[in-house]
Structure 1
């Protein structure tokens, strides 16, 4: 009985730590201001965000550039014209572990149909690159694994609970947001609804 209570307490503590680390009020605005100051620019043009982009359904998904686990640079905008599942995850997350085999199977069955998966690892809250590499090898993942080493993209996309997935259509518009794990059937149904 005590072991069960201890396990539950540890899980709750881990979830609380993740939420505290990911939730930083006004952090994106502050970072935009800091980036402007560091560049010596005070132009509002450099910090303005288009009204047509955001993380809400119906908005254009904000572009980003990250380095993948393979060391290659990847941008979300590189996938315009394809349906994209943008997934946020970590190796220690039990629902992420449950979801990954489904995601891999779905990817294998649908990659020829113009569907891509970008599984962004929240590296800033994960156990290091070696554990990510081991995880990818264990689950035989073949889709791209961008590394969000500073957690900026995870916060921008409000991935406060993981896994969190955004379904992005061929025009780069967010068609759905799913908090929690998905299986192949759900992925198929949601991507079939997209243009």
Structure 2
């Protein structure tokens, strides 16, 4: 009997909370900005994430890593000190990733002496590892493509969406805010000019 009374009481309280919330929403005349609190009209999309998933911030040293690339070589981030680096995270069935990759290739062909593109594949997101090789072969991308097979590097960089790109200066420090979403050629040129 006590369980029935308790259950009914909980239902009444939940019903009261629901009615109160509906009533309060109906009485507001203001338009709330619940999605984009920054006011930045250039935002292409975002998500609300806990503070620990904010990623590496500008001014922080980019965490070093060593991963095997699709060409069978080893890519170590610290080996690129002295060069500007765009550190990108992607996977093959990500539409925004596919959108930016031709621009990344065009940018790389023009600026590879000044800027290194390291496009880390989120391999554990793939159906199979071979999909990465097939995709790269199909489109002929020539920038460095390491395979993050265990998700360790993406965890270090707090990758919560793809594509995401970090902009690292010649000193190995992240110098610009990370970009979530696809980059255009023009945006990459602008970022290259901002890095030192």
| Cross-structure match for 2:150 | 150
User: Where in structure 1 are there 5+ consecutive unaligned residues?
Assistant: 1-18, 27-53
Q: Which string of whole-angstrom CA distances, capped at 9 and with x for unpartnered residues, describes residues 66-98 of structure 1?
A: 111111111000000000000000001000000
Larger Rg: 2
Shift of 1:129: 2.1
Number of corresponding residues? 147
8 Å CA contact retained: 1:96, 1:163:
yes
SS of structure 2 residue aligned to 1:98: helix
| Cross-structure match for 2:57 | 56
| Cross-structure match for 1:163 | 163
Task: With the length of structure 1 as denominator, give the TM-score of the two structures.
Answer: 0.71
1:86 aligns with 2:87: yes
Write out the 4+ residue segments of structure 1 that deviate beyond 2 Å after TM superposition.
none
- Worse overlay, 125-134 or 139-148: 125-134
SS of structure 1 residue aligned to 2:112: helix
Distance 2:63 2:183 in 1: 23
| Cross-structure match for 1:178 | 179
8 Å CA contact retained: 1:91, 1:127:
no
